[in-house]
Each structure stands twice: as C-alpha cells, then as structure tokens.
Amino acid sequence: MLPDVQKLIELQQADREILRLKEEIAALPKRVSTIEAKLAGTKAVLEKAKAAIKTDEAARRKYETAIQDLQQRISKYRDQSLEVKTNEQYKALLHEIQFAEQDIRINEDKILELMVNAEAREKDVKAAERELKEETAEIEKEKADARQRTAEDEKQLAEWNAKRDHLRSAIGADLLRHYDRVSKYRGTGISEARDHKCLACQVMLRPQTYNEVRAANEIVFCDSCQRILYHDPTHDKPVEPVVTHKRRRPHPKFESSQAWYYRSSFEEHGEVLLAFINDHGRSRRRVFDLATGREIGDILEREGEYRLAFPEDLSDAIRLNGSWTEAEMDEWGRELPMVILDVLHRDLDLAREESRPRAKDEAIASEHSAAS
Ligand SMILES: [Zn+2]
C-alpha cells in the first residue's frame, strides 16, 4: 500500500473519532436536560396534589360553617314554636325545622365524601414526593456521570486532534486537498475497493481502475464518487481450494495457434504472462504484468512458429490454458480485463498445485519400493 494512502486511512479514522466524540460531548447536556424536564413534571404533579388537599380543606370548613348556621336556625325555630298562637303557624315552623335538618344531612354527606377523598389525596402527595426524591438523586448521578464522561471525551479528543494534525502534516498537499474536498461533500474521502466495487458508493469500477487499485503503484480515484481508493488483500474472497484428483485441469493443447505462459521474471520485470500467436509461418509475442495485467513493451513479431522464434522465453516457463482471438486481444488495449486476468491466475494456481502433490506421491512411492 502507498504510504500516503495508509496515512489517509488513519486520517479518516481520526476524523471519524473526532466527529463521534464531538457529537457525544454535545449530547451529554441534552440527557441531563431531559431528566430535568421530567423532574419539573413531577414537581408540578406534587404541587397539584397539595393544592387539591387545600381546596378540600376549605370546602370542609365551608360545610361545617353551614351546619352550624343551620343548627342555630333550628334552635331559633324551636324557641319560636313555644310562642305561636295557631296550629298553622306551628306546622309552618315544624316544616322549616325539617328542611334545615335535611340540609344538615346533605352537608354531612359532603364532609364524609371529602374525608374519603383525603386518604387518596395523601397517597398522591406521598407518591409524588417519593418520585421527586428518586429523580433528584438520579439527576445528581447523571450530572456527575456527564461531567466525568465529558472530561474523558475531551482528553480523547485532544489526543485524536494531535494525531490528526500529525497525519495531515505528513500527507502530500494536493492529495490532502482532494481528500478534504470529497470529505466535505460526502462525509468520507477514502474508500476501500472490494469485489470490483467502491464500497462507499457501491458503484462497479472499470477493470483497469480496479487493477490499478490492486497494484497500488499510484493514487486511484473512484470515477463515480471521487473518493481515493485502496485495496486490502486480506478482504479478498478466499480462493476455492483446489482438489486436483476431483477436478482435473485441462492440459494445454500443443498444436493450438495460441499459447499462454507464466514466467517468474522477464527482463527487468518480475512475474509476467506471455501470449504467443502463430500466424502463417510468423509469430507474435505480447507480455503482461502478472499482478496488474498491464502490457509491457510492444508486440514483438518474429519469423517462424513461436517455439522456434522465442526459445529464450520458454525455458522455466509454465504453460497455461487460454484461448482468445487476436481481434479480442486487440480490443483489450494495453491491459488485460480483470476477468481474463482472473482466469489466468486461477489456471496458474491449478498448474502449480498440480505439479506439487504428484512429485511428493512419486517420492513416497519410490521410497516404498526401495524398502521392500
Ligand atoms: Zn465510489
């Protein structure tokens, strides 16, 4: 991986942590204020319950006064009844007394009702007081936690900021500007490329772009979202285990007009793929970088069939399966498409696998025959 890309991955992590910590620090007072609002609600409930008790007490006093008044009125009527002259007058007074006694009973019932209610009101007040006490304790704890958490977050934030500044000073100015610009609009500036896709925007990458990211020789951008791309080989899908005795590799046909080879080194290059085409007594050679699929040099044409024309290329080379028309190959341009490169890689793996266990088996077999 390019050093700048590695630093950008770390920078993105630092940027993310800084954002997360800032959000957390901002959210902590909000938590406290939510509990404070709950506390205010409980206080209001308590005050309402207390006010209800006061209202009831006032009502009770009113009813008691009314009863006293009525009792006074009755005794006055009794006094008057002793002095009446006619039977009608006496009856009228008796009626008044009965009405007053009825009113007394109505007032007494109301007082009784208030006394029953009073028990429930007391319970409400006690419950609200208890809740208030609990919530007050909770808010104190929450405030203390928030203070401690904020202090820890601030400390971490300072560390990440220092790390961020350090990383930024070590990354190329142009690349950093690009990262900042994309980050500003898209939230992130660098993305992993996996399975031919940009993981951030989920858009398929062109084969050349994906090859370039994998080769990691230069900075590559996603054509779609402009993020800087990187490839992590440890995230590649594991290659299917090769079971040679079950799935035999087809052997390359020697009479074919086209032949592919692998070489561990070629001139000043490392591992390469060679493609030879026989064409009416002449042969042409193309060379590709094994990792990137990029073409190395120009097509070389020589007199004669390729075995005779390019003998120096064939020593220590591994023959591979592969057959495409020359027209197809011309269409590829200067780079093998990813699918073609994958086919050749897989065949190379099979070819290497094939040569290994057989050699071991033969060695074991010869040991056995020697011993017996
Ligand atoms: Zn993208």
Angle formed by the axes of helices 173-186 and 3-83, nearest 10°: 30
Angle formed by the axes of helices 87-170 and 3-83, nearest 10°: 170
**The pLDDT of residue 280 is above 90:** no
pLDDT (0 to 100) of residue 154? 96
Q: For the chain, what percent of residues have pLDDT higher than 90?
A: 62
Measure the CA–CA gap between 285 and 46, rounded to whole angstroms: 93
The total of other beta-carbon atoms located within 10 Å of residue 214's CB is 20
Measure the CA–CA gap between 196 and 340, rounded to whole angstroms: 14
CB 334 within 8 A of CB 308: no
Better-scored residue on pLDDT, 63 or 245: 63
Task: Please state the separation of Cα 140 from the chain's center in Å.
Answer: 33
Ligand 1 centroid – CA 183 distance (Å): 12
Measure the CA–CA gap between 110 and 67, rounded to whole angstroms: 11
Pairing type for strands 190-194 and 197-198 reads antiparallel
Measure the CA–CA gap between 176 and 136, rounded to whole angstroms: 50
Ligand 1 centroid – CA 4 distance (Å): 19
Ligand 1 centroid – CA 26 distance (Å): 31
Q: What is the pLDDT of residues 327-345, one digit of tens each?
A: 888 888 888 888 888 889 8
Cα torsion 317, 323, 326, 331: sign: negative
Ligand 1 centroid – CA 209 distance (Å): 12
pLDDT band for 371, please (50, 70, 90 cuts): very low
**The pLDDT of residue 240 is above 90:** no
Ligand 1 centroid – CA 201 distance (Å): 4
Ligand 1 centroid – CA 239 distance (Å): 25
Mean pLDDT on 276-304? 91
Measure the CA–CA gap between 91 and 263, rounded to whole angstroms: 136
Better-scored residue on pLDDT, 60 or 360: 60
Q: What is the pLDDT of residues 105-129, one digit of tens each?
A: 999 999 999 999 899 999 999 999 9
Task: Name the one residue in this structure whose structure tokens are 């007058």.
Answer: 89
**Least confident residue range of 10-24, 96-110, 339-353:** 339-353
Ligand 1 centroid – CA 205 distance (Å): 8
Q: What is the 3-state secondary structure (H, E, C) of the chain?
A: CCHHHHHHHHHHHHHHHHHHHHHHHHHHHHHHHHHHHHHHHHHHHHHHHHHHHHHHHHHHHHHHHHHHHHHHHHHHHHHHHHHCCCHHHHHHHHHHHHHHHHHHHHHHHHHHHHHHHHHHHHHHHHHHHHHHHHHHHHHHHHHHHHHHHHHHHHHHHHHHHHHHHHHHHHCCHHHHHHHHHHHHHHCCCEEEEECCEECCCCCECCHHHHHHHHHCCCCEECCCCCCEEECCHHHCCCCCCCCCCCCCCCCCCCCCCEEEEEECCECCECCEEEEEEEECCEEEEEEEECCCCEEEEEEEEEECCHHHHCHHHHCCCEEECCCCCHHHHHHHCCECCHHHHHHHHHHHHHHHHHHHHHHHHHHHHHHHHHHC
Ligand 1 centroid – CA 200 distance (Å): 5
Ligand 1 centroid – CA 210 distance (Å): 12
Ligand 1 centroid – CA 16 distance (Å): 18
Ligand 1 centroid – CA 345 distance (Å): 26
The residues with which 220 forms a beta bridge, in sequence order, are 229
pLDDT (0 to 100) of residue 245? 52
Better-scored residue on pLDDT, 280 or 101: 101
Measure the CA–CA gap between 88 and 154, rounded to whole angstroms: 96
Ligand 1 centroid – CA 256 distance (Å): 42
Ligand 1 centroid – CA 157 distance (Å): 29
pLDDT (0 to 100) of residue 142? 87
Exposed, middle or buried: residue 73 (CB in 10 Å: 0-12, 13-18, 19+)? Answer: middle
Ligand 1 centroid – CA 187 distance (Å): 12
Ligand 1 centroid – CA 197 distance (Å): 8
Ligand 1 centroid – CA 196 distance (Å): 11
CB 279 within 8 A of CB 271: no
pLDDT (0 to 100) of residue 229? 97
Ligand 1 centroid – CA 194 distance (Å): 11
pLDDT band for 208, please (50, 70, 90 cuts): very high
pLDDT (0 to 100) of residue 217? 93
Residues with CB under 5 Å of ion ligand 1 are 198, 201, 222, 224-225
Ligand 1 centroid – CA 189 distance (Å): 10
Ligand 1 centroid – CA 303 distance (Å): 48
